[in-house]
Amino acid sequence: MTPSTPENTPDIAIEFDRVSKSFGQRNKKHRVLNEISFTIPRGLTTVIAGGSGQGKSVTLKLILGLLYPDSGRVLVDGINVPSLNKRELLKLRTRFGVLFQGSALFDSLTVFENIALPLRERTKMSEDEIRSRVMATLDQLELSGHEDKFPAQLSGGMKKRVGLARALQLEPEIVLFDEPTTGLDPVMTREIYQLFDSMQKRLGYTAVIVSHDIPGVFDIADQIILLNKGEVDVFTDVNEIIHSTKPYIREFAEMTMGDLFTRPEKEKCH
């Protein structure tokens, strides 16, 4: 594994260093990320936002080592993910929890079995210990009584909660959320964000949320990373986006948050 470098201060969990990534064949190559650099602080919630096809999910897959960058470094605690071999990558992934866009629950397993899977496969816990731990998690996430159901019998919001429960079983240091509220109604979306926020504050993990649900997701963000046409902008507050002077950010803000929301206060009064 690549040793920690001095520039990686301890409070940085993830760092992208001049990362580029393209897709397609030689004559139809599309550059999704263009030498982007940013850092994700430890123990906080970072939202990666941007329009469709701007490389948000690619960013997550690069962090997990499911994709490799064309150039640049993706550092997790100073370890360059693309340089890891398969075994080192598997070891690194034990530190992650991932909630996928479609929850990625195993259709043939019950809710209980889905949540127990990482414990059964990755730990030496007894069945009794696993049962008590899974039941406690189900209780925390208000899923008690649904443990024997199959994913097909659950609502969208419940699937997300089961996905979150599974992602948190191995007590990960970093939890990645890929478009976690896709397909949910606004009320459920709000509930899910509140749940994410409370779980993050309770457990203290580093949360990275990829979402196009703007401005809703900004409510729980400590840092916002905006991806646009292969470039990256980092904000610590939604007001920074609203008051940005960069034309494409203003355009993005108006398109996603609405004209009324982004118009300066004086104009709103008239």
- Which residues lie near another protein (CB under 8 A)? 22-32, 34, 52-55, 58, 64, 66, 90-91, 93-94, 96, 98, 100-102, 104-107, 117-118, 121-122, 166, 170, 229-230
> Cβ closer to another protein: 93 or 160?
93
> In the complex, what is the shortest distance from the CB of residue 127 to another protein, in angstroms, rounded to a whole number?
13
> In the complex, what is the shortest distance from the CB of residue 27 to another protein, in angstroms, rounded to a whole number?
5
> Cβ closer to another protein: 122 or 268?
122
> In the complex, what is the shortest distance from the CB of residue 159 to another protein, in angstroms, rounded to a whole number?
11
> In the complex, what is the shortest distance from the CB of residue 105 to another protein, in angstroms, rounded to a whole number?
8
Q: In whole angstroms, what is the distance from residue 130 CA to residue 218 CA?
A: 35
> Cβ closer to another protein: 105 or 209?
105
> In the complex, what is the shortest distance from the CB of residue 82 to another protein, in angstroms, rounded to a whole number?
15
> Cβ closer to another protein: 87 or 202?
87
Matching residue, tokens 């940085």: 12
In SS3 terms, the chain reads as CCCCCCCCCCCEEEEEEEEEEEECCHHHCEEEEEEEEEEEECCCEEEEECCCCCCHHHHHHHHHCCCCCCEEEEEECCEEHHHCCHHHHHHHHCCEEEECCCCCCCCCCCHHHHHHHHHHHHCCCCHHHHHHHHHHHHHHCCCCCCCCCCHHHCCHHHHHHHHHHHHHCCCCCEEEEECCCCCCCHHHHHHHHHHHHHHHHHHCCEEEEEECCCCHHHHHCCEEEEEECCEEEEECCHHHHHCCCCHHHHHHHHHHHCHHHHCCHHHHHC
> In the complex, what is the shortest distance from the CB of residue 81 to another protein, in angstroms, rounded to a whole number?
13
CB-CB neighbours of 269 under 10 Å: 7
> Cβ closer to another protein: 100 or 150?
100
> Cβ closer to another protein: 117 or 188?
117
> In the complex, what is the shortest distance from the CB of residue 190 to another protein, in angstroms, rounded to a whole number?
25
> Cβ closer to another protein: 66 or 257?
66
